[in-house]
Structure formats: C-alpha cells, structure tokens
Structure 1
Amino acid sequence: MTGLRKGVNRRKVMWAFLDINLLLLMCFMLLYSYVSSTVSSPLYSSSCRLQGQFHLNGMHKAGDVVLGGLFGIHFFSVFPDLSFTSEPQQPTCHGFDVLGFRQAQTMAFAIDEINRNSNLLPNVTLGYSLYDNCIKLGIGFRAALSLVSGQEEQFILDKNCVGTPPVLGIVGDSISTSSIAISSVLGLYRVPMVSYFATCSCLSDRQKFPSFFRTIPSDAFQVVRQNVTGLQWMASEAAIAGIVFHTPHLMPYLGGTLGIGIRRGEIAGLREFLSRIRPDLHHNNVYGNSMVKQFWEYTFQCRFAPLPAGWVEAGGALCTGQEDLENVETEFLDISNLRPEYNVYKAVYALAYALDEMLQCEPGRGPFSGHSCATLQRLEPWQLMYYMEKVNFTTPFGDQVSFDENGDALPIYDIMNWLRLPDGRTRLQNVGEVKRLAFKGEELTIDEDKIFWNFESKKPPQSVCSESCPPGTRMARKKGEPVCCFDCIPCSEGKISNKTDSMECTSCPEDLWSSPQRDYCVPKKTEFLSYHEPLGICLTATSLLGTFICAVVLVIFIYHHSTPIVRANNSELSFLLLVSLKLCFLCSLLFIGRPRLWTCQLRHAAFGISFVLCVSCILVKTMVVLAVFKASKPGGGASLKWFGAVQQRGTVIVLTSLQASICTAWLVSSSPSPHKNTQYHNDKIVYECVVGSTVGFAVLLGYIGLLAILSFLIAFIARNLPDSFNEAKLITFSMLIFCAVWVAFVPTYISSPGKYADAVEVFAILASSFGLLVSLFGPKCYIILLRPERNTKKAIMGRGIQS
C-alpha cells in the first residue's frame, strides 16, 4: 500500500513537471514569434488574415489601434487527454456566464463611446480583440500571448485593410492568479495590462510586475483601518458577494453582515447598447463574435444552425437571431449594480487617455531618447507605459482615476449590508463608502439608519468587553485582549476629546485650555496685577495715600514758607523734592492693571525720571550743606558762589536730563512691550511687560543707584556738622533706607514671576518713597505743627532741628 502511494505521488510529480515544461516551451515559442514580428514590422503584420494555432472564443472590431481584453465568459473548461501520439484537441468551455459577457460588452461600449467622442483621440479609431479565458490560467495565458504576438486565430478584419494594428494594451485579467502569470511575461516587454478585478496585493510589486495596472483597489486596502466594533460579522470584498450569503438557512446567523464591495458606478447609455446586441456577423463591424452567438443560445435556450443531432426532436428551438432581449428575463440588461463593469469602463478610458496624451506629444519635446515622440505609425507598448503612469481623469460618475507608483488605483469601496427580508429573501444594500483621497488621507461615510442589525432589538450591539468611552476620555487597548476590550483614559490637562470612543485626545490651541470635563476647550485664565484683587487694591491705596501725604506736606510747607525751619532748609529744593516724591507715588499706578503698550513704555520712564529728580534734589541739598559749612569757616566764603540758586536748579536739570536721555534711547532702540506669557502656568496666560532691552533697564537703575550712593556718601561726611546744619543726618538715614530697599529689590525682582515682579517693583517704589518722605519731612512737620516754639531763628541757630 505504501509502495502504491509512492508510485502515485511520483507519477503526479512527473506529470506536473511535464505540464510546467510544456507551458514554458509554449511561452518561449510565442515570445520568440512576438519578438520576430516586432523586429520585422513594429506596427503591422504582413497580412490581414492571421494564421493562428488556438481556437478561442472572441469578439473583434477593426481600428487604427487595437486594445485587447480577457474576460471570464464561461465558468469552467474541459481539456482533452494528452496521448502524445497525435495533435491534441482544443479545450472546450462550458457554463456560460452572463455577467462575464456583460463585462466584455462594457469594454466594447466604452470603445464605441470613445470613438464617438471628438475631444478624445480625434482622428484615431480604436478597435478591440476580446477573448474568453474560461476562468482557466492556460486558456487566459494563450489568449494574452496571442494578442501581443499577433498570432490570433484566423479572422478577417476588413476587406480593404492593409495590415493588422498592434495590441498596445490589455484590459484584464479578472483573476489574480492569471494576472500574476500573464503580467510577469508582458512586463518583460512593457505591455500595459489593466485589470478590473484582480485584487492580490502581491501585484503591487513594481519589480515583478512593472507594466501592471488596475482599477480595482488592492486587497491591502481592505483591512474597512477604522475601529468599528460591536458588529456581528465583518466580511471582505470577496466574501460579501459570496454564495454563502445567498443560502436561506444561514441568514439567521449571517444576516446583517457588514462588508465592503467593489465600487458601484453608473454608465450612461450602456443599457441601450446592450439591448441592441444581435448575433449578426456583420453587425457594427464586429467580427468573430462567437461569444454573441453563445450568449444568444444561452439566453433564449435555442441553437443556431447547424443543429446538433436530435436537438429538434428533444424539444429544442432554432435561433433566428431576431429574438427580443426585452421580452426575456435576464440579468444581462440589469445595470442597477454595475461593479466589475464600472472597473472595465475605467480601464478602457485609462488606456485611451494615455494614448491620447501620447499622440499629443510635440516633436522635439518628447520624453523618449533625443526628445522624440511616439507616432501612430510606429507605436510601441513600452511608450504607452510611460503615459499610463501619468493618467489622471474623472469619470462622468465623479470618481477620480489615477495610478500610484505601484500601478494601483485610488481605493474606493462601497460598504454593504446583508438585509434579511420578512419573506426570507436577502438583499444586499449600500450603507456607505470608504475611500482614500489623493494627499488627504482616508474618508469613511456610513449611514447608520440604513444598517440592518441581526438582533431582536434591531439596534447596534454593545461591546461585551468594554463600554463606550465618553467625551473627555480616549480609548486605550488592553494588551493581549481583543480589540473590543479597552480602557477609557481621561485626557491629560490641555487636551480634549469631544466625541464618543475617541482614539486620541487633541491639544487645545495656545490661548485655550481644557475644561474640567476635558470635553471642550475654554479660554485660559488671564493673570496680571489687577486693581480688583487684594494685592492690587492695597498697593493702589498705599500709592494714593503717599500722594495725599505729599500734597498735605506741600500745603504745610507753602503755608509756613516764611518760617525759619522752612527757609533754613532750602525751601525751593524742598518744594521740588515734594513734587518729585508725589510723582514717584503716582508712577507706581502704571504698574497696576492690564499691561498695554503705552503703560509698558511709560512706567519705567516715569519711574526713572521721577526718582532721579528726587535723588538729584537730595544730592544738591547735601552739597549745599557742605558748602555752607565751609563758608562759615574763615576764607570759605568763595565756595558759596558755586551753589547759588541758579547753580542748584541747573545741577538738578542736568542730572535729570541725563536720565531722560537714557530713557529715550531705551524706548527708541528696544522699547518695552506687553507680552502674553504661557511659560509660568499651563492653564493661565500671564500678561506682563517685557523690558525689551535688559541693558537699558540696568543703566536706568544703575544711574539712580549711582546718584543715591553719592548722596549717601556726601551726607555721611556731613553728618557730624554743627547742629544748625544737621539735616545731613536725616539725609544720611533716608538714603540708607533708599539704598537698602533697591539692593533688596534686584534679586527679588529677578526671581518673581509674572504679576509678582510688578508687585515687587511697586513695593520698592512705595517703600523708598515713604522712606524719603518720612525721613526728610517727618521731623520738620512735627516741629511746624506740634512744637511751634522751636520754629524760631534763635532755636534753629542754637539747637538745630533735633527732636
């Protein structure tokens, strides 16, 4: 038994090896004849009457350029036994396929439509040679090689023809296996082959199949890449149209199945064309139309003469050729569901557009060697290949047709749903589409109201593993579990999801932030030193209080301007000092409120000039104290001429003008400006004034500090002068406070973010201003208001203004 099994297996291997070798030998013989014919005459063979070796079912029409076609007109074939003692008989095809024949007629219709179109291929007539592959690789291979080698079966194209036009391209095959075999050979000679039904993703390999194109999407695109869960069955393009879904007893289980189907299209005028088909050998210049006769016999259950023996006796009818297709029930004329036919239509037009573009080439500007062009008299398939790769047009149905670098068309599918009718019948209905747009990604459209759900509730099923993720969360698959099992992860701060079952959370724009529920974006909170918050209110009140106190002191000094204590302390500089302190208090208000361009530019300029004016007055007062002291000594009177009223005013103006110049240069070169800062807080926008030029700001502060230190040093030197000049002690103390405040300000300001930097600067302005106001004017107001007996010349000359 084991020996018998081995013998059978060995015999099978031998026969398979023999079949392969015979097929290869046949291929090389045909290729040799093809190469020989193209070398001797690249366009036409020497005779209109072609001597062929294969008897194939076909249909042909004359033209300046001929396109080939391979279609499955029969379901199966029978090959005779090979005795190797005589010439083998030709295979016979059986089981007529009406839909396959309709696909072939669609190609004939498309070519006829192109020939009537004056805008496409003008002055060029397309012809065709269509063959039946009988759903058999060997027969399809024979037909394809016959087309490209010019070795078709004998037929007469036209009584006036002078040669046989070449087949520049083939529409077909409908089967991936056949397309793989045929295209691998045709690719050697760059003969374009455009399939309308072969979906194997392997055919996208441009190295193996360089001349293969297709108008049906590759299987690689069928994997519907969208997360559609909770469905009972999901089917591929091949399965959704399979016969299993037509089985009534399986519909309780398979009803409601969702799957993808080949794109359905509409072809205007096709039904009228199909209804005019007649089995007349000379109808519409179509020859060798054995397929039409077979279709007629199949449809009307009749036979043309000569009749087989016993046909009439058995009740068979004789075909007259005048039968009316409209009076018989046939799906041949039903064009409501054109799917493969629509792909055939697009394939023919793709070849036509490529040919039209090729013939529009201007001599000297062509894409071939020496900038040459292809001509109608010397057309080569490889020349057409160049233009096939650049095809891009839109069908009357509105679909864009082009090929990518692999020869694949832009994928587009109809989403189909098997509907179970109450009477037990089934119907396939369109519920949406999925397509890939050029440079725009993929687009999925589903009409959920049309979907039939195979459940008692007639509603979409819920996932048995996880509930839907609400807005504000995203789906995260559970590792090692089915795709319907997932966790709902809340979106992180600053991200949202506003749909159910979102795969990702999207970031909010820069000015927006996520809501607490993470389902929509809200404007970010804004932060600045406001007049309405407690800190801003306190600083504003303090500033206004200091301004009011300055005004009160100024009124007191004006009212008592003739008293000795006012006159003894240089009343003019005291008044100017009070005005400058008042400005210092007021300039702090520019740091409060929402930053704007004018406030950002004015705040530091006003602050710098006000404080320089203030410190300049103090510096001049201190210098006057030293000058008066020297003048009281013998021979020191000459020093007073340098510190008269004019010199005092001039010194204050010059020192203040220098600060004004610094501020002007800063504002012109790199002006401070408002800025929205999102770096401090993710959920807040901090409005702040950027200083523009750090150098400018540093020079402004440094100049104030230089004058303050100078005033402090001079006042410190004069602190031990006689009592009548002891205002120097007050100046020394006030400048000590001033310097301490601003030394502490710098590091605090640098380390404080946002509005707190403004608050620190306002606090420094107010603290130093109050320090100067209280230190310099507090003791004097005390004597003027509470100790008037000491506000006399004798008291001042005797004991000074010590309290």
Structure 2
Amino acid sequence: MLGFPKDCFLISLFFFYLLSSCSSSLPPSCNLQKEFLLNEMHKPGDVVLGGLFEVHLTSVLDEGTFTSEPQQPHCSDFDILGFRHAMTMAFAVEEINKNANLLPNVTLGYSLYDNCGGLLLGLSAAISLASGREEQFVLQQNCSGIPPVIGIVGETYSTFSIAISNVLGLYKMPIVSYYATCSCLSDQQRFPTFFRTIPSDAFQVRAMIQILKYFGWTWVGLLISGDDYGLHVAQSFQSDLLHSGGGCLAYLEVLPWEGDQNELRRIVELMKTSTARVVMVFAHEIHMIQLMKEVVRQNLTGLQWIASEAWSAASVLQTPVLMPYLRGTLGIAIRRGEIPGLMDFLLQIHPEETDNNQTDMVRQYWEYVFQCKFKPTEKAESSETKCTGQEQINNVETEFLDLSNLRPEYNIYKAVYALAYALHNMLQCEPGRGPFSRNSCANQKSLELWQMVHYLTAVNFTTSFGDQVSFDENGDAIPIYDIMNWQWLPDGRTEVVNVGDVKGSESKGEELLLHEDKIFWNFESKKPPRSVCSESCPAGTRMARKKGQPVCCYDCVPCPEGKISNQSNSLECKSCPSDFWSSPQRDHCVLKKTEFLSYNEPLGICLTTSSLLGTFICVVILGVFIHHRQTPMVRANNSELSFLLLVSLKFCFLCSLLFIGQPRLWTCQLRHAAFGISFVLCVSCILVKTVVVVAVFKASKPGGGASLKWFGALQQRGTVFLLTSIQAAICTVWLVSSSPAPHKNTQYHKDKIVHECVVGSTVGFAVLLGYVGLLALLSFLLAFLARNLPDNFNEAKLITFSMLIFCAVWVAFVPAYINSPGKYADAVEVFAILASSFGLLMALFGPKCYIILLRPERNTKKAIMGRKTNKT
C-alpha cells in the first residue's frame, strides 16, 4: 500500500465532489448529487453512531466503459457471522438506551453499513456516515449542529481501516475498530482518531513469541498473507524475534491472493524439505483454505500449526478432511466474552413485508437461514419458496444463535460502550471544570468530533464480564488473547479448547498462562515437537554461527583448553582464573595440578635417600677418623682440616634436602645460601690442605723450613674462615638486594602450576657459583702440580682426582640446569650437589678408610714417610 495516504485523499476529494454541490444563491445550500445504494440499516436517535461490517463476503463492481452510467455494485455471499456482528452493535445501542445511568435523557441511534468485503464500498459507506444522508440541507452561518454520526465502529480489515482513517481522520472522526490489528494503525501521528478494542499485531506477535519461547521452538516457518495485515506482521515478527532472542525463521513466504497453484505447490514443497516442525500462519481464512488444499494433496503431515487470530477459530477449516492435518493447532484468539441478553435480542429479529432499506439486512438474513425469497424473480417464482417473515428462527440450527464463542462480538460490544462512555463524560462536564481552553466544556448543541476524540482517550470502564477497557497513548486497548487448541474428539467432532491466555502489562510485559496438560498434540509421542535448526550446545561448548545461515543455525565448538562454558548455548567460552584450568569436559574450572620436586615421588625419594646416605657416610667416616685420630694416617693428613672437611661435606649433603618439597620463601632463600657456603667451606678446606701439602714437601728440602711458619694451624683456620666469609658476604648481598622467592610458573605447562624458586638476581647466583668454581679450580691446579711429589702417600693425587670430579660435575651442571624445566632443574641441581659431594667424599676419604680399616699394616709412620724407590 505504498503511497496510500495520498491516494485516499484524492479518493475523498472525488467522493465529496460527487456528494455535494453548493449553490451560489442565498441562502446557501448543498444538494446530494449521487446517492450510494448501500446495504444498510438505521435507527434514529438524538446522537447516532456509525457502524461498518462485512455482511456480505464479496461484491461485484461494474467497471464501466465511460459511455454509460455504471451500475451500482452488487453484493453476494451472505456472511451470517458478519450480520451477527452488526446486530451486536444494534443490541449494545438498545441496551445503553435502557440504562438510566449511562447517557440519561439521550437516545442513541445507529447507522449500520455493509462493506460487502470491498474497499470501495467500505470507503463509500464511511463517507456516507460522515456526510449524512439528507438530499439537501441549508448551511448555517456558523456551521453549528450535531454531526451525522459522532463516531464509527469499524472497520473489519486493517487495509480498510487504514484507508478510512486516512480520509476521515482529516475531519477528526473517531473510529473504534473491533477487528483491525495492523500495528501500523498505532501510529497516532498518522491516525490520530483511530482506536481499537482488539490487540494490535505487535502484541499478537509478542504473544506468539512467548509461546515459542515456552516450548523452546527456535526454528519456525512463517507464512503470511500479501496484504497490510501480513506484511506488517512479518516485519514486526522478525524485529521482535531478533530482539527477544526467541529464535529465527526457517522460511518467510507470502501466500498468493489469487491462490496461484504453482506458487502454493512451491511453498508446500519448501515446507516438506525444511527442518522446521512448527509453522506460523498470519493469514485470513481464504488463504488457509487455499493452502490446506495443497497440503492435503501433497499429504504434508508432522507439522505443528500456529494460528493467528484471523483463523484460529475458523470453523470452515474444521472439517474431517483437514483435521488430520490441523488437529493439535495452537493459536491465539480474540478474548471470548459474554453478553447477557444478546440471545433474546437476536431471537426478536424479524423482517417486515416492506420494501425499504431499514430491513434489507434482516431480509437477507432470513433468506439465508430459510433458503427462501421475499421477492422471487419471474424465472424462479415457481421453484423458490417465498418467505413470510413468520418462520420460527429458534427451531433452526444456525451459527447465528451459537453464542458460546463471542469474540469479535465482544470487541464490538466494548467499542460501542467506549463511544457511549466518552459521550456520557463529555455531556456530564461541569462548566468551569472542562478539559479545554479556559476550563471550558463541549457545546452540547454543537458537538465537535475532536472533543469526542479527547474524551475517548480518557475512557476507563469495566464490562459486565469483568474486563477493563481503556486506551493507551496509541489508541490500543489493554491487550489480552486466549490461547486455543484444536482437538479432534474420538466421536469425530472438533472442539476448540481454551488452554490459557496471554495478557499485556505495562510493568511486567507479556504474561503467559498455559495449561499444558490440556493441550492435544497431533504426534505419536503426545508431546510438543522439537523445532530447532541446531540442537542445544551443551556446557563445555560454544555456539559458532554457520556462515550464511540464520542466527539460530550454528555449530557447537568445544571450548579450547583453559576456557569453559558452564551453561548450555553459550555464545563464548570464559577463561579460567590463573590458578585454575578447564576440566576435561570444559564445563567447569578445576585447580591446576601442582608440580615440584616432592618427597613422595620416586625421583624425590631417590634424591632424599642419597642425601641421607651421604650424610650417614660422612658421620661414619667422621667416627672412624675420631676413633683412629692417633694413627699416622689421620695425623699425617691434617686431622683438623679433615674433620672440618667431613662436617662441610655433611652440610653439602643436607643442603640438598632444601631443594626437595614445595618451595617456600625461607627454603628459596636458604637453599642457595646453604649450598654456596657449604661448598665454599668444603673447597676451602681442600685448598688449604693442598697448599699445606705443597708447603710441607718444599720444607723438606734444604733451606725450605722457614716457609712452614706461614702455614700453621692458626693460619689454616684463618684462611678457611676468610674464604668462607667472602661467600657469606656474597650471599648476604644477594639476599638483601634481590632475594630468591617462590614462583608459580605456568609457562612450561598451561594445565599445571610449577612451583619453583626464581633466583632473583642472576648476577648474584653467577657470582656464587663462580666463586665456588674459582676455589675449586685453584685447588685442582695446585693439586695437579703436586701430584708427582715423591711420597709414598701423596694426598695431592687424591685432591687432584676429587677436584677433577667436582669440576666435571659442575661444568656439566650449567647447561643441564638451564635446559631443565620446572622441578627437573631442582633435580639437576640436587644431583650435581650429591654427585660432587660423593665424588669428594669417596676420592678424599675412600683410600684412607681403606687403609685404616682394611690395611692397618700400612697405617704406620714408616709406611707413610717411606719414599718410592727410584727405578734405574
């Protein structure tokens, strides 16, 4: 309907040109040039309400050739329910006239017109209501007087309501529709005088989305009619569905107006191939009839139909042929109400034997029910039954008298009362307390339509059925829908059962109440179907949208390591905290495994055992040396330094235990300091012993005795203390400036926390090792130079060999330590400590213990002091 407001305005000008022509003579008057021959019904009153209804389904228009006057339109296909709609308005007017509390001293009348299912006739009727039916009237100087009608109840279709509101809205004519649902009509800028007692499509769409979300249907097909109703619904549905996250569309198809068989065949084939098991149809009954014929032809089963209010209660579709396909349909329907007294009113309707427009609709109704004619044609005079008007209507089974499902009628009833209450409030206005300028009230002798619109916006009353009626700023009533379910009973009857409702609320949004136990499902499982493009992604995965597919079509991608999703259908995976890692299922975070050189693991047990074994051997050797301290072997090898060396070696073995177990601050600080000081003490003793050995042999030569005074016991102790103090100073500076500390390393393994000690200052650690290496190198060089001194037991050879082992171990340690990750770096360092300690212990004290314990005959001064015989 692009450009429709402009078209309607031109049409209105055309109609007004046809309707009236003002003469230039005095007094001025207007003459009706052409009268529309419309199907109508009138009742006079002080104030008249207009009504537009579809009493006939179709109309035949004479297009004309512009060479003769065109014939008046002809209406056909009497709609008995449309006639009941019109009679409901007549009843409401009669009921209001009998109500002493509503519009006292004012008699309401009505003018009801039939649009015959055509826009042209509907617009013609609306203009007739606005302009009046007088053939001639004299214009007053101030144009005062009561308008022909003060409000219109109608129209039926959204398209008709748009056209009429565009035209009559220019003249502030209030229109209250009972059936037009297009959300576009909520635009008060475009339709400022339009109101309705039926919820708009916007709420209908939101109600549908609530049903979809309730059953978890995220993949649905959408079929719409190709008119304003369907197109606006599709636009609103897609927008609301996207914003609510309720799901997405499998396909969006427009049902052809003319029932194009090829197009219908293509749509049904698309429905068969689609994975969507739920199909929503926003269309009128005629479209559904056309569609279902093709569905039956292709035998398309296994679908859950969702009906819009336009066909959710359509009895024409509830046939034995269609019900195998449509049973179980869920739909929303206009709120059902009760209208007391309507049945008695309908039973009193009788035609009169007169030929005037007052009874045209009633006569057509009588002819439809009793299949008779009031004025049979000449050809049919002998075969047609003549109506008398005295037939007993209550003895005939007809839809007209079935008041168990009053839905549009209930909206019509509320629309009439809304206009009546607005008029009542306007007439009850007290002078000086009015809502208009200077607190004025409306002029009761000359009612203004725009004033009626003002009072209509403030209407607020409660029906006898208990429903509140009021209009919001868009002219929409408080929305409420019944949820219906099509059930096929075992005896073959069809029953449409109310299984819940959905209400609108300003504070809570849409409130859905559903009695799921009452719902009949047309599936073998007797349960709601699943209709999803992709199954739910379980916890531990995330949704990855398929390229080129709607948002509800996705793949479930497992979360990467270190990330989790603890809910289904997660859009992204969350990273675990630093001390946590993802579980194997990626659905929750678990504490990372910790790794360090533990006392409980085999490697830790072996190293601990070796350390304790070395310590024990040191103690045993120390005991042996103490026990044999008076023997030449012990005394000849500087017993005091030997004892100190054994103690330092014991410390070397014990300091390796500081590298085992979870690192703490004190162990990290102590391990390297203890290691550095212990080894410096050990190597210092060896260095002093080496120097003493060299000095003793030099003193044995003529003139060399004076040098021994520099290598007395005091000097030896002082030298060892001095060299050890230097290392202690290095360690102190290192600990104070950049102390080693425990560190949780996650670089080696992402799923593990490696507990290690960072050295703090690499320079400090290098100086500590370098100082130990320097002393060891000096000891090795001195011992190597003294290895060939001519003594029977030259300790310099043992020192040379021990230093060679020591240096080899620590030279190999550096690259191994650098390339070993985590706990293995600690293991390498412990192994180096133990290896070098065992090397020194075995090389220095093994031969001596062998002689002391196993070869005591060689433990004599003569044997020790004896020189080797020179070979000739």
* Alignment TM-score, normalising by the size of structure 1: 0.56
User: Which string of whole-angstrom CA distances, capped at 9 and with x for unpartnered residues, describes residues 617-660 of structure 1?
Assistant: 11111111222233223333332222221121111112111211
The range that moved more, 544-553 or 134-143, is: 134-143
8 Å contact 1:734–1:771 — kept in the other structure? yes
Question: What is aligned with 2:467?
Answer: 334
1:220 aligns with 2:220: no
Question: What is aligned with 1:245?
Answer: 312
2:278 match: secondary structure: coil
Partner letter of residue 550 of structure 1?
C
Question: What is aligned with 1:565?
Answer: 633
8 Å contact 1:730–1:775 — kept in the other structure? yes
8 Å contact 1:631–1:638 — kept in the other structure? yes
The range that moved more, 510-519 or 550-559, is: 510-519
User: Which string of whole-angstrom CA distances, capped at 9 and with x for unpartnered residues, describes residues 387-414 of structure 1?
Assistant: xxxxxxxxxx9xxxxxxxxxxxxxxx99
Taking a change above 3 Å as real, the CA distance of residues 453 and 612 of structure 1, as seen in their structure-2 partners, is farther
The whole-number CA distance in structure 2 between the counterparts of 1:796 and 1:553 is 20
The whole-number CA distance in structure 2 between the counterparts of 1:679 and 1:221 is 48
Taking a change above 3 Å as real, the CA distance of residues 484 and 609 of structure 1, as seen in their structure-2 partners, is same
Question: What is aligned with 2:661?
Answer: 593
User: Which string of whole-angstrom CA distances, capped at 9 and with x for unpartnered residues, describes residues 523-560 of structure 1?
Assistant: 33222111111111111111111101100000011111
Per the TM alignment, residue 605 of structure 1 is displaced from its structure 2 partner at its CA by 1.2
Per the TM alignment, residue 794 of structure 1 is displaced from its structure 2 partner at its CA by 1.2
1:425 match: secondary structure: strand
* Pairs within 5 Å for 1:101-140: 135-136=161-162
1:694 aligns with 2:827: no
1:424 aligns with 2:495: yes
* Pairs within 5 Å for 1:211-360: 220-223=239-242, 224-227=244-247, 232-233=278-279, 242-248=309-315, 249=317, 253=326, 257=330, 279-283=424-428, 285=434, 287-288=441-442, 334-335=467-468, 341=471
8 Å contact 2:559–2:573 — kept in the other structure? yes
2:781 match: secondary structure: helix
Partner letter of residue 313 of structure 2?
H
The whole-number CA distance in structure 2 between the counterparts of 1:687 and 1:569 is 44
Question: What is aligned with 2:746?
Answer: 678
1:534 aligns with 2:667: no
8 Å contact 1:475–1:502 — kept in the other structure? yes
Partner letter of residue 731 of structure 1?
I
1:604 aligns with 2:675: no
1:755 aligns with 2:815: no
8 Å contact 1:551–1:582 — kept in the other structure? yes
1:96 aligns with 2:157: no
* Pairs within 5 Å for 1:109-508: 135-136=161-162, 182=189, 220-223=239-242, 224-227=244-247, 232-233=278-279, 242-248=309-315, 249=317, 253=326, 257=330, 279-283=424-428, 285=434, 287-288=441-442, 334-335=467-468, 341=471, 418-420=484-486, 424-427=495-498, 429=500, 452=519, 454-456=521-523, 457-462=525-530, 471-473=539-541, 489-499=557-567, 505-508=573-576
Per the TM alignment, residue 134 of structure 1 is displaced from its structure 2 partner at its CA by 9.9
Per the TM alignment, residue 435 of structure 1 is displaced from its structure 2 partner at its CA by 13
Partner letter of residue 669 of structure 2?
Q
8 Å contact 1:140–1:178 — kept in the other structure? no
Taking a change above 3 Å as real, the CA distance of residues 345 and 554 of structure 1, as seen in their structure-2 partners, is farther
Taking a change above 3 Å as real, the CA distance of residues 453 and 724 of structure 1, as seen in their structure-2 partners, is farther
8 Å contact 1:561–1:567 — kept in the other structure? yes
Partner letter of residue 734 of structure 2?
W
The whole-number CA distance in structure 1 between the counterparts of 2:657 and 2:152 is 98
Question: What is aligned with 1:270?
Answer: none
1:720 match: secondary structure: coil
The whole-number CA distance in structure 2 between the counterparts of 1:754 and 1:219 is 57
The range that moved more, 469-478 or 709-718, is: 469-478
The whole-number CA distance in structure 2 between the counterparts of 1:243 and 1:485 is 30
Taking a change above 3 Å as real, the CA distance of residues 93 and 282 of structure 1, as seen in their structure-2 partners, is closer
The range that moved more, 649-658 or 449-458, is: 449-458
8 Å contact 1:591–1:762 — kept in the other structure? yes
The whole-number CA distance in structure 2 between the counterparts of 1:260 and 1:524 is 58
Question: What is aligned with 2:861?
Answer: 793
Taking a change above 3 Å as real, the CA distance of residues 80 and 138 of structure 1, as seen in their structure-2 partners, is closer
* Alignment TM-score, normalising by the size of structure 2: 0.52
The whole-number CA distance in structure 2 between the counterparts of 1:77 and 1:19 is 12
2:426 match: secondary structure: coil
Per the TM alignment, residue 684 of structure 1 is displaced from its structure 2 partner at its CA by 2.2
Taking a change above 3 Å as real, the CA distance of residues 280 and 539 of structure 1, as seen in their structure-2 partners, is closer
8 Å contact 2:278–2:531 — kept in the other structure? no
Where structure 1 has 5 or more consecutive residues not aligned to the other structure, the ranges are 1-11, 24-55, 58-73, 101-132, 147-151, 154-172, 186-195, 201-215, 262-272, 299-323, 348-396, 398-412
8 Å contact 2:632–2:864 — kept in the other structure? yes
8 Å contact 1:233–1:257 — kept in the other structure? no
Partner letter of residue 253 of structure 1?
L
8 Å contact 1:564–1:793 — kept in the other structure? yes
The whole-number CA distance in structure 2 between the counterparts of 1:470 and 1:451 is 31
Partner letter of residue 96 of structure 1?
V
2:312 match: secondary structure: helix
Question: What is aligned with 2:413?
Answer: none
Question: What is aligned with 1:3?
Answer: none
Question: What is aligned with 2:214?
Answer: none
The whole-number CA distance in structure 1 between the counterparts of 2:868 and 2:138 is 146
Partner letter of residue 647 of structure 1?
Q
User: Which string of whole-angstrom CA distances, capped at 9 and with x for unpartnered residues, describes residues 235-277 of structure 1?
Assistant: 899997632233353697385658999xxxxxxxxxxx99987
1:630 aligns with 2:698: yes
2:606 match: secondary structure: helix
Taking a change above 3 Å as real, the CA distance of residues 234 and 764 of structure 1, as seen in their structure-2 partners, is farther
Partner letter of residue 232 of structure 1?
V
Per the TM alignment, residue 497 of structure 1 is displaced from its structure 2 partner at its CA by 4.6
Per the TM alignment, residue 707 of structure 1 is displaced from its structure 2 partner at its CA by 1.2
The whole-number CA distance in structure 1 between the counterparts of 2:581 and 2:332 is 40
Query: What is the CA RMSD across the aligned residues, in angstroms?
Result: 5.8
The whole-number CA distance in structure 1 between the counterparts of 2:809 and 2:11 is 101
Per the TM alignment, residue 495 of structure 1 is displaced from its structure 2 partner at its CA by 4.2
The range that moved more, 790-799 or 626-635, is: 626-635
Per the TM alignment, residue 91 of structure 1 is displaced from its structure 2 partner at its CA by 11
Amino-acid identity (%) = 57
Question: What is aligned with 2:834?
Answer: 766
8 Å contact 2:150–2:449 — kept in the other structure? no
8 Å contact 2:187–2:474 — kept in the other structure? no
The whole-number CA distance in structure 1 between the counterparts of 2:150 and 2:764 is 96
2:619 match: secondary structure: helix
Taking a change above 3 Å as real, the CA distance of residues 460 and 686 of structure 1, as seen in their structure-2 partners, is farther
1:245 match: secondary structure: coil
Where structure 2 has 5 or more consecutive residues not aligned to the other structure, the ranges are 15-48, 51-114, 132-136, 174-179, 193-198, 204-234, 249-274, 285-305, 335-416, 436-440
Taking a change above 3 Å as real, the CA distance of residues 733 and 182 of structure 1, as seen in their structure-2 partners, is same
User: Which string of whole-angstrom CA distances, capped at 9 and with x for unpartnered residues, describes residues 716-740 of structure 1?
Assistant: 2222222167211111111111111
Taking a change above 3 Å as real, the CA distance of residues 433 and 702 of structure 1, as seen in their structure-2 partners, is farther
